[in-house]
Homo-oligomer: A and B are copies of this chain.
């Protein structure tokens, strides 16, 4: 199948691209390399089923032309401002990069008649809702502009699916870890420890805990949901067990870096406004399609620390 992957040079997108190529699909990556990196996809350069265009997908006419020329059957839309903290205060970042990219993709699909969409959504749409979060949990009051941009995207995907006859798979990702990540708690800790291995700053009290999914397990789940979804709009949480705290992640990193003596400064504050401290995901729907992560959240975090510090 001919597939366009937006954000395909990013952390998660590039792993999706690898999997689609392995499965025999023809893949065109669109990425403006704002957060994505060419090195994440350069190993596919010789593959005849792979191509890449550096482009800002919110340039609508240009995007329509690309859709028209490549004639994709399906769009995997992963392009977004994945650095939540970066858009915390400035709403325009997520309006353009998280929401505006989705609107451009939907409009491009309408104009060129593409009927299948896979969309990367997020746990952030649930805000600080308590309890075990399922796809039907509510009310949805996101606390970050990133979460708002993703929920706004879901909303228009649903209405366009109804009007334009698109079939959509929306995946709400828990926290994702693994090689090629460009931000987030692993990335930040490793960067800060390189600058000063004697001390580290930790948001809140470090006990905030989330279900981490290893990126290759996430890709497995996406493939299962994409192939198994029969509704017009298919909605899936992709989670993992157990929840892992920031303190545990720091321990994994310190162990890999062989640092035994360090001063930890707890801020008592969220990393950014809208950083949800702790949540638990009900992902029984995607598990019913056969999703069985190879790594628990704890194993995924330990492995990520090892891979990011010592190389894959």
Interface residues of A (CB under 8 A from B): 88-89, 91, 95, 99, 103, 106-107, 110, 125, 127, 135-145, 147-149, 151-152, 154-156, 158-160, 162-163, 233, 235, 273-274
If the complex has contacts A138-B135, A140-B155, A155-B140, are A163 and B235 also in contact, measured as CB distance less than 8 A?
no
A159 to B145, CA, bound (A): 6
A141's partner among B144, B158, B163, B274 (CB-CB below 8 A) is B158
A126 to B25, CA, bound (A): 36
* Contact residues in B for A274 (Cβ distance below 8 Å): 159, 162-163
If the complex has contacts A103-B95, A138-B137, A163-B88, are A143 and B127 also in contact, measured as CB distance less than 8 A?
no
Which of A106, A107, A148 has the most C-beta atoms of chain B within 10 angstroms of its own C-beta?
A148
The 4 closest A-B pairs by CB, nearest first: A152-B152, A138-B138, A141-B158, A148-B159
Q: Could you show 27 A-B contacts with beta carbons less than 8 Å apart?
A: A88-B163, A89-B163, A91-B103, A91-B106, A91-B156, A91-B159, A125-B155, A127-B158, A136-B137, A137-B138, A140-B140, A140-B154, A141-B233, A142-B158, A143-B158, A143-B159, A143-B163, A145-B163, A147-B155, A147-B159, A148-B152, A148-B155, A148-B156, A148-B158, A148-B159, A149-B155, A162-B274
